[in-house]
């Protein structure tokens, strides 16, 4: 089973996709400064550069 965890703040959003069978983080990321100048999006897949 895979679980998507989302943490939404006032100007940011963080997330992780976790494989519950292996406890492995499949992907994670953050969207920062949403609606503000200088915003950014970071998406990571551990083991995949």
The pTM is what?
A: 0.82
Which pLDDT tens digit goes with each residue over 1-44? 999 999 999 999 999 999 999 999 999 999 999 999 999 999 99
**Given phi > 0 = left and psi -120 to 50 = alpha, else beta, which region is 10?**
alpha
pLDDT score, position 49:
62
Q: What angle do CA 38, 7, 22 make, to 5 degrees?
A: 120
The band of 46, judged by pLDDT with boundaries at 50, 70 and 90, is confident
3-state helix, strand and coil shares in percent for the chain, rounded to the nearest 5: 0, 60, 40
């Amino acid at each position: 089973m895979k679980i998507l965890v989302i943490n939404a703040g006032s100007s940011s959003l963080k997330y992780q996709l976790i494989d519950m069978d292996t406890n492995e983080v499949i992907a994670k990321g953050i969207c920062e400064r949403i609606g503000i100048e200088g915003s950014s999006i970071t998406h990571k897949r551990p083991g995949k550069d």
